[in-house]
Amino acid sequence: ETGVTQTPRHLVMGMTNKKSLKCEQHLGHNAMYWYKQSAKKPLELMFVYNFKEQTENNSVPSRFSPECPNSSHLFLHLHTLQPEDSALYLCASSQDRAGGTDTQYFGPGTRLTVL
């Protein structure tokens, strides 16, 4: 058990749908991350939150909208996605963002398919 949970584990949506991914961490960490993982590609960092404040947005299209209501919960709201957005979306947490040398703990991911 990693202490980081994600729901749903699988999601199939059409390009006009709106859906949300949820992440929850039970580790008392202060930083949370969204990553996109595509086959045979490096993990792509999408968003970083530290103490509920967004600290990074790596040129992610506006059809992805993050929300962090508190240090334990992170959402990724999806709307009008494209087929190329199909991927595994991973959530992670770490003690804090300072230094970037903290070990990150990952959730199992949401496998997203956009039709």
Map tokens 């992670």 to a residue: 92
| Residue 45 lies near other proteins (rule: CB under 8 A) | yes
90 binds other proteins (CB under 8 A): yes
Distance of closest approach, residue 56 Cβ to other proteins, in angstroms = 9
- Taking CB under 8 A as the binding criterion, the range among 18-26, 35-43, 61-69, 72-80 that sits at the site for other proteins is 35-43
C-beta of residue 15 within 8 angstroms of C-beta of residue 80: yes
Of the ranges 12-20, 59-67, 78-86, 92-100, which one interacts with other proteins (CB under 8 A)?
A: 92-100
Q: Which is nearer to other proteins, 16 or 40 (CB)?
A: 40
- CA-to-CA distance for 35 and 46, rounded, in angstroms? 5
Q: Where do the DSSP E strands lie in 1-115?
A: 4-7, 10-13, 18-25, 31-37, 44-50, 53-57, 64-70, 73-79, 87-94, 105-106, 110-114
Residues of this chain that interact with other proteins (CB under 8 A) are: 2, 4, 40-43, 45, 90, 98-101, 103-109, 111
